[in-house]
Amino acid sequence: DTAVSQTPKYLVTQMGNDKSIKCEQNLGHDTMYWYKQDSKKFLKIMFSYNNKELIINETVPNRFSPKSPDKAHLNLHINSLELGDSAVYFCASSQVGNTQYFGPGTRLTVL
């Protein structure tokens, strides 16, 4: 009965590869988000997705692309991975204007 789930929990890959992280929420929320947490523990918004409207943080490279097959899922696809992409990626969901609930995170390591 996990509220917000992500897979995989850990992802180790080589530079230049393409990878995806999946996120699912069973809370019936209408908005989902992706955050990146760097080695200094700073959490930064990457994307929010609400009713098929995608809002992108302008600092996010276009190698990152969110894909939402339906309201309960927001996957993160990353092309041409770079060393600096190593971080923990958190998915979250909320009803608009309400508290966001976070998934357990995916630790991405790019070698």
Partner 1 sequence: EDKVVQSPLSLVVHEGDTVTLNCSYEVTNFRSLLWYKQEKKAPTFLFMLTSSGIEKKSGRLSSILDKKELFSILNITATQTGDSAVYLCAVSDQTGANNLFFGTGTRLTVIP
> In 3-state terms, the chain is what percent helix, strand and coil (to 5)?
5, 55, 40
- State how far the alpha carbon of 81 is from the alpha carbons of 50, 96, 103, in Å: 26, 32, 22
| The dihedral sign for the CA sequence 61, 67, 73, 78 | negative
**Selected binder of partner 1 within 64, 89, 103, 108 (CB under 8 A):** 103
Given the rule CB under 8 A, which of 16-24, 52-60, 69-77, 78-86 is the region that contacts partner 1?
A: 52-60
**Selected binder of partner 1 within 42, 80, 109, 111 (CB under 8 A):** 42
Q: Site size for partner 1, by CB under 8 A?
A: 28
Tokens of 45: 């918004």
State yes or no: residue 105 binds partner 1 (CB under 8 A): yes
CB of 73 to partner 1, least distance (A): 18
State yes or no: residue 97 binds partner 1 (CB under 8 A): yes
